[in-house]
A and B are shown apart, each in its own frame.
Chain A
Amino acid sequence: MRALLIPSVLTLATLAAAQDKVTVYQNARILPGGAPAIEQGVLIVSGGKIQAVGGASTPIPDGAVIVDCTGRTITPGLIDASFQTTQSYQDLNEQSEEVTPHMRALDCLDPEDPAFTRAREAGVTAVHVMPGTRNVISGLGCAVKTHGTDPASMVLGRDVSMRLVMGSEPSLGNRAIRGGRVDSIYYRRPTTRMGVIWEARKAFFQAKDENTLDGGDPTPNPGREILKQVLAGKLTTFTTARSEQDIRTALRLAEEFGYKTVIDDAYDAHYVIDELKDADVTVLLGAPSAERVSGTAGRDGADPRGATAPLLAQKKVPFVITTGTNPLALDLVREAMFAARNGIPPRLALDAVTILPAQLLGIDARVGSLAVGKDADFVVWSQDPLHPATTPVSVHINGLPVHTASTSR
């Protein structure tokens, strides 16, 4: 790792000079994110920011570096709103308690993680990293760029979400106490689905009591402070709920305590579409490619259907496409491609991996679309990004190329 740092420092110095130059990407088809396509588009970048986006008539400053992008397509850098790092299970799941709202995913982020390299190679320039799924409330998620020398230089949003997990995972493999010491680490609760919900409810009850009752518990409790923020509507809960049953439970809990939630990894969204619509929640659609035409159901009995994305679009339930917790998920752009195959308009498929996740994570002032003043995070694709044969020609973060295809086609 040390050996890797030396060349990257050297290149940074030269790249910093490149960053100040004005670079013009010409003749590309530009899909700006949240806006119609621009044919024969021009993208002007300098100082790591976008200076101009427009059609062929956009004035080009003197002395600019010109990059001809004929036949190419430019999109904003993709944003994965539920990203898996390669960190081990132990690193992402704090086992000392079932409810750990104050654990920060940011604190165990490794900028050298190969998952970030893969993300950059796939055109993903920003990600939302959450703690694992083995706790009932596992902690705070952060939004980061996929390139940087240390976590601080990558951060887009420090605490953008709190993860809550429904279903069988938080109770998986846990054992009830049978004799022995009650405080032994070998015993963990909850052991059932009911127990999972009770742990969540108990935590919210305690935080709520402190909100309403005079005084409350005088013991400082950092986790409870986070929950209070959630109850005050200052922090969004990302509830991981895959099956129909778990999604309903997630919505019920949010209604009961009056907090704002997003449904993460909502494989079964199709079956609870009306409830989702009524609850006015955003849905994270994890890996649309996981839909099986025939075969058995997935984890927690979830049964993803191809029609989910088109139905969400038709019913105007806001959704974002992610790679989710599926270990077989494809590159994010391919997941958008599968959603498009299943019948959503191509523009919506791209928005669902660019501007929509940026808005959801509250980082859209800096990233998510190609607009003047935003960070120059963008991808030059060899052809339409939703074609199976497409490949990123170059990927840029803050205007700098962080990945360039070894062979240009």
Chain B
Amino acid sequence: MNSSLLLAASAALFAATAVSQDLVAVKAGKVLTVSGPTLEDQVILIENGRIKQIAKTSEIEIPWTAKVVDASDKTVMPTWVIAHGTGGIRGSNESMQNVPWLSVADAIDPASTYFEGALRNGVGTVHVMPGNFTLLGGSGMVLRPFGKTIEDMTVAANTGIKMSLMNQRGSRLQQIREMRRALTDVRDYLADFERRKKEFEKEKAAGAIPEDKKWDDEYDRTKRAAAHLVQKKAKGWLYVPTAAEVTEALRMTQDLDLQIVLGRDIDEAVAKLGRFNQPVILDATIEYRETDEETKKDQKICTAKMLADAGIPFAMTLGSNGPTSYPWWQLGTLVRNGLSRRQALESLTVTPAKILGLEGQLGTVTKGKLANLQILTGDPFDATTWVEMVLLEGELVYERSKDPRLQYLFGEEKDKAKKGAGPDGDNEPKEGEKK
């Protein structure tokens, strides 16, 4: 009975994902639970995609029906959760600014290298949103980076509306003005809708409209999403590009249900960020150099460290390329700047899961949660550690030994000719040459 209930619950939550019916047992040399202490020599038993039991190897008998994943010389930990990203979309920014009725569902490319890269880095959940070059930019989706269709990948749809205070054409004030105007337009529309509804009822009461006729008008299709936003039925994911826009963002939180997504240059407003009373989402660049305009002194700034010192919880994100796209690099940057390992790990697991409202499902290795696990060759903070395998809901979806792109990058020399890469595209030995 329990299992069928669980199945129903997960089917409702994770529409159209294939939930593995089999028992899976992961033999783990080390388990970084994130929430609790690090465990050694464990077996993680997975049933129907969820963690059923975590026990010491000597204290559990692995059922003979279970598929065994041997990670007894490896480290097992939850997959990373990305609270906000704009990758994996074909064209993340509509050239029109005010398009809240759009959805990333129509632009997600399951074959995008973004998802492939995410899995390779141990990411198990991504919240994909429209880009930052927008005003009201459409709604996002929470996805798992594995699957051939958008339906396969969906964890949650219609997660809220992307909003951006990033100055698009000209001045910062213009963007703020346009944001206010867009929201006022929606409120005016709703007020007008209510007025028309009231008039209808009045006319009906006066007998001008037949008794059996009912008010059947609905919100305009292009207004519905924005209407939900101003009615606080939908969350706004507000991109705050720099410290200068923080005050306006704070003002906006008075009227709307907002999640703050920060840009890079927010160091000057850290003192104010606590007033959002919520965990904020950080830009992928958490450490950078800046030259002081007055003293001309070159200094390193770590925004994550400043937030941690101010006691503001945050979710870290990953860049689309370069070092910031590697979780170990991002975690290392946090620790290098004086944060604890626990703080670093939580910023890519527990905190983003909480922001997505999935803290009961994701983010730690805990009984009852989804079996979204990554198997690492070593410590997640080491540069020499690689993601060996990824399990999403108990299903093995990534194996490093079968990763074609890594095989190409690190493959034998003899493979290179058949890959046909390189600017000349031809490395075949010439006729008569040896080898």
Bound together, the chains give a CA A334 to CA B332 distance in angstroms of: 11
Tell me, in angstroms, the Cα distance from A340 to B378 when the chains sit together.
Answer: 14
Min CB distance B170 to A, Å, is 29
B215 at the interface (CB under 8 A from A): no
Kindly specify which of B67-75, B151-159, B323-331, B390-398 makes contact with the partner chain.
B323-331
How many CB-defined contacts (below 8 Å) exist between A and B? Answer: 88
With A and B bound together, what is the CA distance between A389 and B328 in angstroms?
10
Q: Which of B248-256, B264-272, B406-414 contacts A (4 or more CB under 8 A)?
A: B406-414
Give A1's nearest chain B residue, CB to CB. Answer: B296
Closest Cβ of chain A: how far from B97's Cβ, in Å? 29
Q: Mark B181-219, 1 if CB is under 8 A from A, else 0.
A: 000000000000000000000000000000000000000
Return the chain A residue nearest B421 by Cβ.
Answer: A303
B383 cross-chain contacts in A, Cβ below 8 A: 337-338, 340-341, 386-388
Give the distance to chain A from B21, nearest Cβ to Cβ, in Å: 33
Q: How far is the CA of A244 from the CA of B39 in the complex (A)?
A: 49
Tell me which residues across on chain B come within 8 A of A114, comparing CB atoms: 291, 298
Instruction: Tell me if B6 is interfacial: C-beta within 8 Å of chain A.
Output: no
Q: Which residues of chain A have C-beta atoms less than 8 A from B321's C-beta? A: 292, 295
Chain B residues with Cβ under 8 A from A295's Cβ? 113, 321
- Asked whether any CB of chain A lies closer than 8 Å to the CB of B335, the reply is yes
Name the contact of B382 in the complex, choosing from A302, A338, A343, A387 (C-beta under 8 A): A387
Closest to B415 in A: A307
Interface contact B422-A303, CB-CB below 8 Å:
yes
Which A residues touch B382, using CB under 8 A?
Answer: 387-388
Known: A388-B329, A388-B332, A389-B335. A291 touches B409 (CB 8 A): yes
**How many angstroms between the C-alpha atoms of A291 and B332 in the bound complex?**
20
Instruction: Say which one of A6-14, A87-95, A229-237, A265-273 lies at the interface with B.
Output: A265-273
- Those of B137-162 within 8 Å (CB) of chain A: none
B422→A271 contact, CB < 8 A:
yes
A208, CB-defined interface residue at 8 Å: no
Q: Tell whether A102 is near chain B: CB-to-CB under 8 Å.
A: no
Instruction: Tell me whether A311 is interfacial, beta carbon within 8 Å.
Output: yes
Q: Is A409's beta carbon under 8 Å from chain B?
A: yes
Q: How far is the CA of A292 from the CA of B116 in the complex (A)?
A: 13
Q: Is the CB of A340 within 8 A of B411?
A: no
Contacts of B416 in A (CB 8 A): 270-271
For A301, give the chain B residue with the smallest CB separation. Answer: B423
Given the complex, which residues of A lie within 8 Å of B427, measured CB to CB? 271
Q: Which A residues touch B338, using CB under 8 A?
A: 407, 409
Cβ of A289 under 8 Å from chain B? yes
| Contact residues in B for A334 (Cβ distance below 8 Å) | 323
**Which of B116, B406, B409 has most A Cβ within 10 Å?**
B409
Closest to A338 in B: B383
Q: Which residues of A contact B432 (CB under 8 A)?
A: none
In the assembly, what is the distance between CA of A218 and CA of B427, in Å? 47
- Indicate whether A305 reaches chain B with its CB closer than 8 angstroms: yes
Residues B409 and A307 in contact, CB atoms below 8 Å apart: yes
Residue among B117, B383, B421 with max Cβ neighbours from chain A (10 Å): B383
Q: How far is the CA of A337 from the CA of B113 in the complex (A)?
A: 25
Question: CA–CA, A271 to B328, complex, Å?
Answer: 29
**C-alpha gap A268/B423 in the complex (Å):** 9
B402: Cβ under 8 A from any A Cβ: no
Contacts A114-B298, A311-B413, A409-B338; is A243 near B328 (CB within 8 Å)? Answer: no
Find B423's partner among A302, A343, A409 (CB 8 Å cutoff): A302
Query: Which residues from A are CB-within-8-Å of B164?
Result: none
Convert B307-342 into 0s and 1s, putting 1 for each residue whose CB lies closer than 8 angstroms to a CB of A: 000000000000001110000110111011010000
Q: Apart from A303-B421, A389-B381, what 9 extra A-B contacts exist at CB < 8 Å?
A: A117-B298, A300-B423, A306-B410, A307-B409, A328-B322, A330-B323, A387-B383, A389-B336, A409-B338
Binding site for B on A (CB under 8 A): 114, 117-118, 243-245, 268, 270-271, 273-274, 289, 291-295, 297, 300-303, 305-307, 310-311, 328, 330, 334, 337-338, 340-343, 386-391, 407, 409
Q: Which B residues contact A (CB, under 8 angstroms)?
A: 113, 116-117, 120, 289, 291, 298, 321-323, 328-329, 331-333, 335-336, 338, 381-384, 405-406, 408-411, 413, 416, 421-424, 427, 435
Q: Provide 7 A-B residue pairs closer than 8 Å at the C-beta atoms, listed in order of the A residue.
A: A273-B413, A289-B322, A293-B409, A303-B421, A310-B410, A311-B413, A388-B336
